[in-house]
Structure 1
Amino acid sequence: MQNNNIFNFIRTPDWISLGNGICGGLAIILSIKNHNALFPAGLIVAGGILDFFDGRVARKYGLASDFGKNLDSLCDIVTFIVAPVVFAFIYLQELSVWEVAILVFYIAAGLLRLARFNVTGTLSNGKYFEGMPVPFSIVLIVSYFPLLLLSLPMILWILLFLIHGCLMISTVKIRKL
């Protein structure tokens, strides 16, 4: 009989991935509670930092697993797809139908990007990603603040979601850091 106790699956890098997902979840909660935008934005960035390290730790110590790969993608959905969209819905006062459509497209593109990655992995022996990785959404979140401070039209910010969504589902080769 197989023992499917969850703790039999979790390795050190998986705890790091889980931290990423928790940061994303907290970013969503703080956005909904309409806290100062810096807090949820900071949590998304913190999730990105954790995401940067989980795979590196897994590879360095030979702890990579199918469980870890799937957990990482699920956490990325929360932190880099759902949290930025919730952030946009909350911190922009009014959204047009087109802006909502762009954010929904962003969600679909992110989900498709991660599904493709889980099936195909990286290119050229791990040197390149196919399409823009979802953690790049950190740039979306960080760019919100200068646009706000400069009183630029926030449609520019929503257009960044559209561009990132298109790049995620593209076949553009992006060098892995």
Structure 2
Amino acid sequence: MNKITRIILVVVVCLSIGYMSGVVTRSAITTWYPTLVKPSFNPPNWVFAPVWTLLYLMMGVAAGLVWDKINLDKEIVKKALFFFAIQLALNALWSYLFFGLHNPMLAGLEIIILWLMIYETQIQFAKINTIAGYLLVPYLAWVSFAAVLNGSIWWLNR
């Protein structure tokens, strides 16, 4: 399998996970979420879909670039992709906890673990492919912002 095929495959997986997370989110955005008190820095709802789409694209490209190095050092690449898979699963779980279960506290605790897994993934990716490491920096920044937003929403609505 060539590099482009690997990148496309992982991008499709990431976008699919994002779509499934969106299914959980969509109904709550119009019913439960508007009832919450939100901090002044809460972005408008329309911001989230394009930001997440871009982040999922960047994640997929990063993972594809790392996967393309599998023949150079199989164990290091497998380890990096293992962390990637964990953080991707945690990413989807956050949407379920926050929007599906309507539980900002549990989602807030989970997002801390998610952030740590993204950070570890970014470190592992950077060792294998510098560009892949850089591609995860905006994701880490956005989840940092999301963690603060999540914590603020929990605090304001406890």
Task: Give yes or no for TM over 0.5.
Answer: no
TM class, shorter-length: 0.3 to 0.5
Between Structure 1 and Structure 2, the one with more helix by share is 2
Normalised to the residue count of structure 1, the TM-score between the two structures is: 0.38
Q: Which has the higher contact order (CA 8 A, sep 6+)?
A: 2
Normalised to the residue count of structure 2, the TM-score between the two structures is: 0.41
